[in-house]
Amino acid sequence: MNWNVTVMLGGPSAEREVSLRSGRAVSMALLELGHRVSWVDPRKQDGWKLPEGCEVVFLALHGTYGEDGTVQQRLEALGVPYTGCDAAASRIAFDKVETKRRCLAAGVPTPRFTVLESARASVPVGWLPPLVVKPVRQGSSVGLCFVDRVEDWREGLATALKHDSTVLVEERIRGREVTVGILADEALPVVEIRPKEGGYDYTNKYTAGATDYLCPAPFDRATTERIQAVGMRAFAAVGGRDYGRVDLMVREDGQPVVLEVNTLPGMTETSLLPKAAAAVGIGFGALCARMLELAMKRAGGGGSRA
């Protein structure tokens, strides 16, 4: 069945350019599948309208407004089905501190952390580098800094505070960085992330060739299953549905710890969730189709034929 689909892309956040790329890739895939596709760019949070005849919204937004539950809440008020997590889960997952609290309550391991709000704050008592400093409510590694020396503290704190009034300070886990994609209540193959230099910050994430991605990640079966299970538990802890991506570190002893949950992961053909889906034979178009089907199933089976 083909539908009248509105792809929401762009938006007002610091991740606007990434969202535009996701939205364009999704739109091309949906057009090739035979859907009627229109676009809405909510660059201003107020004033946008869905096109007449819209049956379902494909959310390709990232960051503030797109992932924090705001647009989801408005779409729910309009009674229009949309892809991905609901407003409540989106709001929880976008807040890194609330995510960690939910994980801890569910027995899901996550790095030791504390929260700061002052640009004048010193390194917290009882803490020593290496540390990770990042805004509580941002995505895509925006404002994330690695503090490897006490001398780097002030700059790292200031950078994070440019993007939010509250900053999360975490112990920096030494180990292997991975991500687990989730689709329809199943964990996809683990992707290992290997920056060629430094940590996986915004620059290494979006600079071509700066990072190697291994999928399936080269772990033994028991470790792979443990990583996938922890990722699924974290997604459940925030109330996730349909699809998402959970970022983790794997300690040197093979124990995974959750960094954060992404409710609207990147959707270019080279993004991590599509990479993981491709590893089990789900191409980019099929992945987009599955996301739409999950949304329409919740709406009662499919809407009218476009």
Q: How confident is the prediction for the chain on average, in pLDDT?
A: 92
Regarding whether 55 and 22 lie in a shared domain, the answer is yes
Regarding whether 79 and 138 lie in a shared domain, the answer is no
pTM summary value: 0.91
The residue out of 263, 278, 296 marking a domain boundary is: 263
* Residue bearing the bigger pLDDT, 166 or 14: 166
For position 208, which CATH number holds?
Answer: 3.30.470.20
3-state secondary structure (DSSP) of residue 169? strand
* Active-site hit among 21, 27, 260, 271: 260
3-state secondary structure (DSSP) of residue 2? coil
- Structural domain count, the chain: 3
d(CA 141, CA 159): 12
d(CA 88, CA 107): 21
Q: Which residue has the tokens 């990434």?
A: 18
- The answer to whether residue 301 sits within a structural domain is no
Regarding whether 180 and 130 lie in a shared domain, the answer is no
* Active-site hit among 4, 15, 22, 177: 15
> Which domain does 101 fall in, by range?
92-108+174-263
Which band of pLDDT confidence, cut at 50, 70 and 90, is reported for residue 262?
very high
* Active-site hit among 140, 141, 177, 242: 140
Catalytic site includes residue 15: yes
* Active-site hit among 38, 152, 206, 213: 206
* Active-site hit among 21, 231, 266, 271: 266
Regarding whether 152 and 23 lie in a shared domain, the answer is no
Per-residue pLDDT, 208? 65
- The answer to whether residue 139 sits within a structural domain is yes
Q: Is the pLDDT of residue 132 over 70?
A: yes
Encode pLDDT of 172-219 as tens digits: 999 999 999 999 999 999 999 998 877 665 565 656 677 899 999 999
Q: Is the pLDDT of residue 305 over 50?
A: no
Q: Is the pLDDT of residue 158 over 50?
A: yes
Catalytic site includes residue 266: yes
How would you classify the pairing of strands 243-251 and 56-59? unpaired
With a pLDDT cut of 70, the percent of the chain lying above it is: 94
Dig out the tokens for 237 from the structure: 């802890």
Regarding whether 34 and 12 lie in a shared domain, the answer is yes
- Least confident residue range of 71-80, 123-132, 178-187, 197-206: 197-206
Can you tell me the mean pLDDT for 83-109? 97
Catalytic site includes residue 199: no
Catalytic site includes residue 2: no
